Structure 1
Amino acid sequence: MFVHEGHDAPSPGTVVDRVEFDVERGKIGEFAVATYAGDQIHRDVDVATAAGFDDVLATATHVVVAGHHRNQREFVAALGLAIERVVVGSVEWEYARPLVAGDHLIGTRRILDNTVRQGKRGGSMRLVTLQTDWLDSSDQLAVTQREVLIERGL
C-alpha cells in the first residue's frame, strides 16, 4: 500500500466520489463546438431522430462535464494528492450505449490501482487509476470512464 504524507492512501475498490447530472442539449452543442464535431446530429433534433436517436447525440467525451459537478477539494483530499504535482496521464471511455440529450447520469468513481513507480529520470511518481461507471436513470450502464492521474516528484 502506498503511504502519502503520513496517511494510508485509499485502496483499490474504494469509492472516491459520486456525481450526477443531466445531459443537456445546450451543453452538447458547446462540446460539439469545442471538439470540432461538425455533424448536425449533435445540434439538430430532426437530424438526430432521423438517425434513430431520441434526441441530439452527445459527443464522445461528454461525461467530462461531471468535473463541474464534483467537489474537487474532497476528491483530492480523499486521494491524498498534492494537486500542484498532478497531471492526467490518460482518459478512455467505453460506451455501452450512446448518450443523448435528456439522459440523467449517475457516476460512481472507484480506485482501480494506486501505485508508486520509479521515474526514468530519477524520483518517483504515484499513479492512481480510476474508473467511473455511469448509470442511466434505469440503473443501466451507459459509459465506463477510466483515467490515470500521475502525481510527479514524490
Structure 2
Amino acid sequence: MLDEVTFDIERGKIREFVLATHAGDTVHTSVEAARDAGFPDVPATATHVVVAGHYRDQRAFVAKLGLAYDRVVVGSVKWTYFRPLCAGDSVRGVRRVAADTRKRNLRFVTLETDYLDAAGDCAVRVREVLIERGAQ
C-alpha cells in the first residue's frame, strides 16, 4: 500500500463538481430526480473521487516513490465504477503501485486506487499513470 485516504461524498461538493463540469443531468442536483432515477441520493459525477487529492500529501507520496516532483506529469487516468457513489457515502481510498517501468529517459509508474465503501466493497477503481521525465 502506498497511501490511504478517507472522505465523505457530500452533496455540496457534488454540486461544485456539477457547476465546474457543466453536468446537465438533474440527478446530480435534485434528490427527487435522483430517487426517481433509482438512486438513494444524488449521485456524484464521474470524476468525483479526484477530491481525494485534497486530503493527501501529494509531495509526500511522490517522494515515497522516489520521483522528482518537478519532472512528473500525469499520463492517463481511468475510472472504473462498480457502483455509483452518492451523497452520504463514506469511502476509503487505498492506493498501491501496480507497475513501475522505465523506457528510454522516462519512468512510468502505474498507480491503482480502490475506493471502498462502508461495507468494504470496491465502488470505484482509479488507474493512473505518472510519467517522470529524466533529468536534463
1:51 is aligned to 37
Aligned-pair identity in percent equals 61
> Which whole-Å deviations, capped at 9, do the CAs of 1:33-83 have from their partners, x for residues lacking one?
111111111111111011110100100000000000012232111111111
Q: 1:76 aligns with which of 18, 41, 62?
A: 62
Unpaired segments ≥5 residues, structure 2: none
2:91 is aligned to 105
Matches within 5 A, 1:1-154: 15-118=1-104, 124-154=105-135
Unpaired segments ≥5 residues, structure 1: 1-14, 119-123
> Which whole-Å deviations, capped at 9, do the CAs of 1:73-127 have from their partners, x for residues lacking one?
3211111111111110000010010110001000110001111111xxxxx0110
**Superposition misfits of 4+ residues, deviation over 2 angstroms:** none
Cα displacement (A) at 1:153: 2.3
Q: Indicate the structure (1 or 2) with the bigger Cα radius of gyration.
A: 1
